């Protein structure tokens, strides 16, 4: 009986430990509501008029919601939920960069992630997101293939709200 209880305890602690490691892979300052700072950002194509990113903990992963107004006045509203394992998951909504239908997010360290977006299995974008050391801003460096097949690089700076 003692052997069974010991085995169960080891399994439970192992599972709890692995969940804790995943949850700790992203610094808590990565989470929150972030508003685009157009004055600090640099865009190849016309910049959006506004953009707000909301990043929330979701189980062992993250849920991302993006809401804004594109340069042409159209609505940007898309979201996804990821386990931060680098595996593609659906992304849905309007105004998704490159028209992506899947997104894969992987932490590089506690404050930095790398994201790959695909459309029909073809890579249409990569994004590196880094939270500043003070946790007050994030910088996203995006390389997106636009509708004309041209790759554009943008640097978007967001301030924590």
SS3 letters for 90-135?
ECEEECCHHHCCEEEEEEEECCEEEEEEEECCEEEEEEEEEECCCC
CA dihedral 99, 116, 132, 153 (to 10 degrees): -60
Taking the C-alpha atoms of residue 151 and residue 48, their distance in angstroms, rounded to an integer, is 17
Burial bucket for residue 58 (CB in 10 Å: 0-12, 13-18, 19+)? middle
Q: Tell me, which fold does domain 27-160 have in CATH?
A: Lipocalin (2.40.128)
Taking the C-alpha atoms of residue 35 and residue 138, their distance in angstroms, rounded to an integer, is 10
Domain boundaries, the chain: 27-160
pLDDT in tens, 52-103: 999 999 988 999 999 999 999 999 999 999 999 999 999 999 999 999 999 9
Mean pLDDT over the full length of the chain: 87
Instruction: Look up the pTM and report it.
Output: 0.82
């Amino acid at each position: 009986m003692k052997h069974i209880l010991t085995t169960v305890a080891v399994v439970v602690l192992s599972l709890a430990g692995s969940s804790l490691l995943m949850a700790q892979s992203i610094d808590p300052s990565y989470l929150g509501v972030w508003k685009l700072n157009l004055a600090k950002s640099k865009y190849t194509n016309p910049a959006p008029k506004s953009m707000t990113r909301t990043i929330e903990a979701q189980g062992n992963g993250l849920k991302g919601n993006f809401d804004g107004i594109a340069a042409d006045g159209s609505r940007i509203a898309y979201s996804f939920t990821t386990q931060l394992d680098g595996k593609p998951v659906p992304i849905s909504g309007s105004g998704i960069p490159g028209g992506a239908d899947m997104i894969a997010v992987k932490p590089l360290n506690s404050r930095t992630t790398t994201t790959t977006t695909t459309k029909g299995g073809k890579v249409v974008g990569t994004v590196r997101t880094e939270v500043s050391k003070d946790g007050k801003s994030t910088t996203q460096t995006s390389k997106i293939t636009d509708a004309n097949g041209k790759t554009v690089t943008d640097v978007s700076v967001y301030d924590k709200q």
